[in-house]
Amino acid sequence: MNENLTADRPTFVTHLECSMTGERYEADRLHNLSRVGRPLLVRYDLDAVGASLSRDQLAARETDLWRWRELLPVRHTRDIVSLGEIETPLIPVPKSGGAKVLVKDEGRLPTGSFKARGLVMAVAMAKELGVTRIAMPTNGNAGAALAAYATRCGIETIVFCPEDTPEINVREIQAQGGRVWRVNGLIDDCGAIVGKGAGEGRWFDFSTLKEPYRIEGKKTMGLELAAQLGWRLPSAIFYPTGGGTGLIGMWKAFDELERLGWIGSERPRMYAVQASGCAPIVRAFEAGEEHAERWEDAHTVAAGIRVPRAVGDFLILRAVRESGGKALGVGDPAILKAVDECARRDGLLLCPEGGATLAAYKQALKDGEVDEDEEVVLFNCATGLKYPMPEAPNWLDRHGAIDFDQL
């Protein structure tokens, strides 16, 4: 078994903190949102982490998610649940993107998406804190990750998804032990059902950012990125943004790494990428608002970022503004064109949400937001194999005359 999962696990969590008011909450207790209805953030004794772990020691470990154990909240080795969370590669896409463009391909993770990062941590903490039944709304990939990890450790799951969620995701959730229900609405409508059931004590609410630990799993994207680039950060990051947990998590990771003295104060410009058919963060950013109003009539081919309202909206907007970045919206035609171009020219099959980051980068390049000589990282959040692809209609009759020139 991986040494990272069997070694003693010194943990350095001191408390939880309301992301809006700073109010402290006790660790090692079950929490949803803070008293003012905002996400809770996990805080660590970073001085003690620094005294316990050096970059050289970290470099000697296997390169998986659990190598970062001192900066993760799970206190007991027995509570770790894992399906093999590897460090995902950085793939150059010089023909469809440019000479300095890298794609962090999260589709290599268990259940084929970056949702594995957040859900493995949240489920491990649910196990540690005695949760036996979980419910969650999903646009697809989060529900699949929840079902897989919860089933592995014996936690019951009930998942609600919009009726037009990709069929492969719905079947994947059910195949991996979740009870899945299609709902005639969007993800926040599904979330309302989850919230009502949680209020009646039927289950624990695992909605995005309504428990503190998904952020801690997602922040490993930022930790990995810094290590992979030799303890520096790229000029810009383009991140597909629905609930925004990963963007918030990476921003937190960079702060923790700086406080450890492992990186400097430089930060990438953070670009929150949304589909123009569901762009509440873009609208709020452009209006100079701190919170984003619900987006009505949300629609896009990129189902994973079709989130009409995000509970962590102010955290997303804060990170984007502090970094000097921007919230960008791209249309479905540009998304589909980017997916097609990256596959045909660079051999990398992006999911639609990953395609949105490539489309947004190209638009930002055109608008002078980024330069061709800047190192840029795009996040492909899931394997493109989960999504509909263009037909391949060519057919050959082996018994007839074969025109080899035409082939």
pLDDT in tens, 82-99: 999 999 999 999 999 999
Q: Residue 21's pLDDT band (boundaries 50, 70, 90)?
A: very high
Q: Please give the helix or strand (H or E) that residue 57 lies within, else none.
A: helix 55-59
Average pLDDT over residues 305-319: 94
Give me the pLDDT at residue 249, please: 97
Mean local confidence (pLDDT), 214-238: 98
Q: Does an H or E element contain 286, and which?
A: helix 280-287
Q: What is the mean pLDDT of the chain?
A: 95
What values do phi and psi take at 211, rounded to 5? -135, 155
pLDDT reading at 1 higher than 60: no
For domain 90-112+215-386, the question of CATH label 3.40.50.1100 is answered with yes
Model confidence band, residue 8 (pLDDT cutoffs 50, 70, 90):
low
pLDDT at 6: 54
Mean pLDDT of 381-386: 95
Q: Within 10 Å of residue 331's Cβ, how many Cβ atoms? A: 16
Per DSSP (E only), the strands in 267-394 are 269-275, 326-330, 376-380
Distance between CA 300 and CA 331 in Å, rounded? 8
With 0-12 / 13-18 / 19 or more C-beta atoms within 10 angstroms meaning exposed / middle / buried, residue 174 is: middle
Q: What pLDDT is attached to residue 393?
A: 94
pLDDT of 76 higher than 60: yes
Best CA proximity match to 68, nearest among 92, 89, 44: 44
For the chain, give every residue range classified as CATH 3.40.50.1100: 90-112+215-386, 115-205
Q: Please give the model's pTM, rounded to 2 decimal places.
A: 0.94
> What is the CATH architecture of 115-205?
3-Layer(aba) Sandwich (3.40)
pLDDT class of 11 with cuts at 50, 70, 90: confident
